[in-house]
A and B are shown apart, each in its own frame.
Chain A
Amino acid sequence: MSESKEKPNEKKQTTEDRYPFDPAENSAETAAATAIEVETLDFSYGSSKALHDISLKIPKGLVTSFIGPSGCGKSTLLRCFNRMNDLIDGTVVNKGKIKIHGVDIYSKEVDAIELRKRVGMVFQKSNPFPKSIYENIVYGLRLQGINDKKVLDEVVEKSLRGAALWDEAKDRLDDHATSLSGGQMQRLCIARAIAVEPEIILMDEPCSALDPIATMKVEELIDELKKKYTIVIVTHNMQQAGRCSDFTAFFYLGKLIEFDRTEKIFTNPAKQQTEDYITGRFG
Chain B
Amino acid sequence: MQDTKQNPFLKRPSKASRIEAAGFWLFRLATYLIVAAAGYIFLDIGIKGGAVIFKLTPPFVNVPFLTEWPETLDIFKMPANQDIKLETPFYERFKKENPEAVFQEKGTVDLVVFQSPEGVTHKVLASNKESTLADPAFQGWKVLPDKSTMQIFSFAKDTELKVGNTIFRSIAANNLEVVPLEHKTQVYAAGGIYPAIVGTVLLVVGAMIIALTLGILCATYLSEYSRSGPIINFIRLSIMNLAGVPSIVFGMWGYAMFVLLFGWNVSLMAGWFTLAFMVLPIVITGSEESLRAVPQGFREGSLALGATKWQTIYKNVLPYALPGILTSSIMGIARIAGETAAIMFTAAFVVRDELPWQVKQLTDFFFNGVMALPYHIFVVSARVPQNEYTGKVQYGTAFVFMVIVLAIALTSILTRSHVRKKYKW
Residues of A in contact with B (beta carbons under 8 Å apart): 82, 84, 87, 89, 113-114, 116-117, 120-121, 123, 125, 127, 129-131, 139-140, 143-144, 176, 178, 189, 192-193, 196
Contacts and interface: CB of A to CB of B under 8 A. Distances in A.
Given A87-B300, A123-B301, A143-B306, 14 more contacts: A84-B304, A87-B299, A89-B227, A113-B306, A116-B303, A120-B305, A121-B304, A123-B300, A130-B425, A176-B424, A178-B424, A192-B301, A192-B305, A193-B305
B365 to A, nearest CB: 40
B308 interface: yes
Contacts, number: 66
Contacts of A114: 306
Interface of B: 227-228, 295, 297-308, 311, 315-316, 320, 423-425
B300 A84 contact: yes
A233 to B, nearest CB: 15
A20 to B, nearest CB: 32
When A and B form their complex, which 7 residue pairs have the shortest distance between CB atoms, in order from nearest? A127-B297, A117-B306, A140-B305, A121-B304, A130-B425, A127-B301, A116-B306
B306 A193 contact: no
A143 B227 contact: no
Contacts of A82: 304
B248 to A, nearest CB: 40
A196 B302 CA distance: 12
B301 A189 contact: yes
24 contacts: A84-B303, A84-B304, A87-B299, A87-B300, A87-B303, A89-B227, A113-B306, A113-B308, A116-B303, A120-B304, A121-B300, A127-B295, A127-B297, A127-B300, A129-B316, A130-B424, A140-B305, A140-B307, A143-B305, A143-B311, A144-B306, A192-B305, A193-B305, A196-B305
A190 to B, nearest CB: 12
Given A89-B228, A176-B424, A140 B300 contact: no
A129 B302 contact: yes
Contacts of A193: 304-305
A144 B308 CA distance: 10
Contacts of B303: 84, 87, 116
Nearest to A140: B305
A71 B300 CA distance: 20
B297 A123 contact: yes
Nearest to A144: B306
Contacts of B298: 127, 129-130
A89 to B, nearest CB: 5
Contact of A143 (B297, B299, B307, B423): B307
Contacts of B301: 123, 127, 129, 189, 192
Contacts of B302: 129, 139
Nearest to B316: A129
B410 to A, nearest CB: 25
A175 to B, nearest CB: 13
